[in-house]
Structure 1
Amino acid sequence: MIYKWRTLSFKLWLTIISAIILSVLFAYSLSQYYYKNLYVEKLKTDLVNEASLLGADYSGGEISADFKQKVEWFNSKNDSEVFVVNNPRELSACLPFEINYDTLISEEERQMLLDGKAVEKEGYEKRFEKNIVAAIIPLIDENRLEGIIYTYIPVDSITVLFKEFAAKWLAAVLLFLIVAILFTTKWLKKLVRPIKEIETAAHRVSEGDYDIQVEVRSQDEIGKLAIAFNDMANSIHLEEERKKEFLENVAHELRTPLSYVKGYTQAILDGVVKNDGEQRKYLQLISREALRLQRLVGDLMDLSKMESAPFLLNKTPIAYAQFIEDVLVKYEPIIKEKQLGLKLDLDPDPIIFGDEGRMEQILHNILDNAIQYTDSGGAIHITLIQHKDDCELLVTDTGNGIPEADLPYIMNRFYRVNKARSRFDGGSGLGLSIVKKLVELQNGKIEIESREKRGTTVRVILPNINEEWNS
């Protein structure tokens, strides 16, 4: 049982929702910070501008009643509090407590005002018993501070505005989170559905259902994963079919010679054979079938070794042309018996660094195929060419050739061109795959060109001994 919190969909959902919540909280904190700071700074600037406009009407000397009246009129029409301060008596007429500019400003601020600079203030003001944002403009006559214009707004009003903003923000955020959670849940279900389908399909493949295919709904990573899974399922299916066919081939190849061996042996034991000539014939048949069994078992063992563990080769310098001629001596009787023409065009210079036993196995397999699939009266041409870094062996026959559809798979394991069940047609499908592996183990490569009913050319390219040692 898989707990829901362990599933990929839940982890993705939790990650996305957490990211959304953190983003909202960060945006809210950032907006509060900038909103308050920008708002307060703009407020200070507006207060300075207001006071400066009023101060522009001051023409010097004592602050006149007319000027004070203008300020009072402006104060009555404005949201901020604005007043003029020059001495306690005049100020007490408009405020419920005694105040003058010496109690509203510090000595440092007084000096700034004497220099003609505006003073901006923010925080708690003891005289007003409030948190305020304020601006002070000097009224100067002949370097003497005659008074100040003091304008301020209580911070409480700003706090109310922030609370309204926060309430609306939180309501919008709550709605956004609900929509985001619903959308994310729906989107993740759609996103994870193909993965769950792949998981289900993988279980079915593990149970032997190789025909299953996952629907490809997109071209993104998940879509590519679905394509890769389908390719894998097809490959496994093909491999299983080849193994099944291989086992059938092996069973057939074993059954046929075993039945011959058993039959001929039983005939000898039962006394069916009446003379020495017939007995020798039966023994020759038994020997032939035993040899077929030996070769089949040998191929199976070689394939098993090459696939299960590092396959070590006993490499030595080989004079390639002489080696080929020595191998061909063993084929002279069968070539004459089948009346095949043999043409050799061997460059004597190539020397390779290879395993003699495995090289002989490579040549035997290639020559066996060339002889087996070339009709009587045909010809086999063997060419060895020296190149700068490697040498090229070509074995060309005029035999049946390989169908174009089979050519790409001819060196695959378990592959047989001839699907018929004749014991005389083709081998187990292991020969060329073993040859390919042996050539690659000796740092070479093998290529096959063929045209049906026109013949086949097998090309084996191996590095020269100097090139092999340098690598």
Structure 2
Amino acid sequence: MNQFQRYIKQLPIRWKITIWSSLVLFVLFVAYNSVQYYVMRTWMIEQEERNIQEKMNEIQAYFSEQPFFVGRTEIVNSSGFIEKVNEANELIRVIDKDGTLLVAVATNLPRELLITPVESKNLEHVKVNGKHYLIHRKPVITNGFIGYIEIIRDLKNYERLRGLIFLVTWSAGAGAILLSGVGGMLIAKQLLAPIQALTDTMKRIKMRGFKERVRQDKNQKDEIADLSNVFNEMMDDVEISFQKQKQFVEDASHELRTPISILEGHLKLLNRWGKNDPEVLEESLKASQQEVERLKMLVYELLELTRLESDRLELAEDFIEPVHVVEDVVKKFTLLYPSLTFKYENSLKSEMKVAIAERHLEQVLIILLDNAVKYSNGSTTVEIVTEQIQDHFALSIKDYGIGIPKEDLEKVFDRFYRVDKARSREKGGQGLGLSIAKRMVNNYKGTISADSEEGEWTIITVKLNGVIEEITQQE
């Protein structure tokens, strides 16, 4: 049994479906045909018994209802009537109370039944020489005779019909099971075709890359179609993730190459002859220190971004009043950049609380204001607005700098993206700030978006969900 189970488990799903469907249909056919055969056999037996009982009642009535005297002689002379009611494969006989045979009429029955009295009950099935007989015996009482009437019927027609029904029933059942096996294979093939397509697609992906997708029929709306849709969507995500990872590695390599090359150049310079020249030594050490600081900041931002993308950010469960955080950060930037004007407008009609850690909101603000300062392009004004949009707290930061091309608006939140790479490098940017800000806002179920007019202005809008309280300001 265990070997059979192991063998079944090793079979392909197509064969498992075929075997199990055939087995289930076999059990159903056996149960159905058994019940059907039993019902039909019982019905035919009852018909035979009812027929012989009706004939017995007819003969009894013939003898009992005669108006004249009915004795032994009249019983013997009644063979003409008995021959009329006698059927093929049937024996009718009359016996007196002592067991003496008076009349016997038989058609197509063996001779021994004619001379063998049958001591039977009222209605009995017996086997004689392998043949099936139905025997019915009842008393007959007239005004001149007391005896028994016996009807013996050979049920060979019943046996022949029963055998034919048995043969037809089980032959049809066997044929149906065979057809069900073939049908099971066809059904399994049809049902498993999408899964086979999915398997083939996986093999092609393994050989050719992430571009392959499962071909789908738009009219198919079953569970396998849902599985194919989920697989295609998953592969889209995997391909995008792979492309981002590849781009990240390329960008990180590019970003790391420059400071490392500068450090290498200064070290070679010092190693050749600069260590004996105080002026060159000081200049090289200063430049190297700057590049080390840049490397340090780049590594820190990469680690921060990796931590955010791996969902290891510890989300705050407390609720803060974001306006106070915005005001504090704006004051700090006003002191840090006295040549710039930071216009802050609070358009909230009520004090709102949002679910975000104060340090995280402050970090997002610093990133956005720092970008606004870097790309101001000589403009001296940065506008900050806080407002309520439906049930969300919204923060907008607008600068009047170089702007962003329309085709690049969706890229500004990608890692290492810079609108003006040359000028960004001069200002010390790594191209990771907006990526960190977006990931941090997304972790709090918020949204961040950008809009711009190239050469005129750029606005970054942050919306934070989870507003749980509104407190009306007292006048």
Q: TM-score, normalised by structure 1?
A: 0.71
Distance 1:280 1:329 in 2: 37
1:76-120 deviation per Cα after TM superposition (whole angstroms, max 9, x unaligned): x445545566654454544633759xx544xxx6xxxxxxxxxxx
Kindly indicate whether residue 26 of structure 2 is the aligned counterpart of residue 21 of structure 1: yes
Distance 1:382 1:267 in 2: 47
Distance 1:198 1:464, change over 3 A: closer
Distance 1:86 1:393 in 2: 120
Distance 1:428 1:147 in 2: 124
Partner residue, 2:205: 205
Whether the 8 Å CA contact 2:94–2:104 is kept in 1: the answer is: no
Q: Structure 2 matches for 1:270-285, cutoff 5 A?
A: none
Partner residue, 1:249: 251
- Using the aligned pairs only, state the percent identity: 21
Q: Structure 2 matches for 1:320-339, cutoff 5 A?
A: 320-332=322-334
SS of the aligned residue for 2:125 comes to strand
Query: CA offset at residue 243 of structure 1?
Result: 0.7
Distance 1:359 1:70, change over 3 A: same
Distance 1:166 1:316, change over 3 A: closer
SS of the aligned residue for 1:165 comes to helix
SS of the aligned residue for 2:209 comes to coil
Distance 1:21 1:351, change over 3 A: closer
- Give, as a single letter, the amino acid of the residue that structure 2 aligns with 1:73: K
Q: CA RMSD in A?
A: 4.8
Distance 1:91 1:394, change over 3 A: farther
Query: CA offset at residue 33 of structure 1?
Result: 1.8
Of 454, 460, 463 in structure 1, the residue corresponding to residue 463 of structure 2 is: 460
Q: Structure 2 matches for 1:72-221, cutoff 5 A?
A: 72-75=83-86, 77-78=87-88, 80-82=90-92, 87=97, 88-89=99-100, 91-94=102-105, 96-97=114-115, 99=117, 103-105=119-121, 121-124=123-126, 131-133=132-134, 150-206=150-206, 209-216=209-216, 218-221=220-223
- Give, as a single letter, the amino acid of the residue that structure 2 aligns with 1:299: E
Partner residue, 2:307: 305
Kindly indicate whether residue 81 of structure 2 is the aligned counterpart of residue 70 of structure 1: yes
Distance 1:7 1:92 in 2: 74
Partner residue, 2:109: none
- Give, as a single letter, the amino acid of the residue that structure 2 aligns with 1:159: E
Distance 1:198 1:380 in 2: 54
- Give, as a single letter, the amino acid of the residue that structure 1 aligns with 2:216: V
Q: TM-score, normalised by structure 2?
A: 0.71
- Give, as a single letter, the amino acid of the residue that structure 2 aligns with 1:161: L
Number of equivalences: 441
Structure 2: 5+ residue stretches without partners:
1-5, 106-112, 471-475
Distance 1:350 1:176, change over 3 A: closer
- Give, as a single letter, the amino acid of the residue that structure 2 aligns with 1:368: D
Kindly indicate whether residue 345 of structure 2 is the aligned counterpart of residue 344 of structure 1: yes
Of 231, 234, 241 in structure 2, the residue corresponding to residue 232 of structure 1 is: 234
Kindly indicate whether residue 449 of structure 2 is the aligned counterpart of residue 448 of structure 1: yes
- Give, as a single letter, the amino acid of the residue that structure 1 aligns with 2:464: I
Q: Mean alpha-carbon deviation: is it higher for 202-211 or for 21-30?
A: 202-211
Query: CA offset at residue 31 of structure 1?
Result: 2.6
Distance 1:397 1:23, change over 3 A: farther
Distance 1:234 1:69 in 2: 97
Distance 2:436 2:124 in 1: 90
Distance 1:414 1:80 in 2: 103
Distance 1:122 1:167 in 2: 27
Query: CA offset at residue 245 of structure 1?
Result: 0.8
Distance 1:351 1:73 in 2: 109
Q: Mean alpha-carbon deviation: is it higher for 245-254 or for 377-386?
A: 377-386
Whether the 8 Å CA contact 1:136–1:150 is kept in 2: the answer is: yes
- Give, as a single letter, the amino acid of the residue that structure 2 aligns with 1:366: L
Whether the 8 Å CA contact 2:94–2:101 is kept in 1: the answer is: no
1:287-329 deviation per Cα after TM superposition (whole angstroms, max 9, x unaligned): 6554443332122212333455743357777553332222223
Distance 1:93 1:314 in 2: 109
Distance 2:332 2:282 in 1: 23
Whether the 8 Å CA contact 1:401–1:456 is kept in 2: the answer is: no
Whether the 8 Å CA contact 1:340–1:376 is kept in 2: the answer is: no
Query: CA offset at residue 244 of structure 1?
Result: 0.6
Distance 1:237 1:97, change over 3 A: same
Query: CA offset at residue 209 of structure 1?
Result: 1.8
1:141-192 deviation per Cα after TM superposition (whole angstroms, max 9, x unaligned): 89x9977765453455433333333334444444444444344345434544
Kindly indicate whether residue 53 of structure 2 is the aligned counterpart of residue 35 of structure 1: no
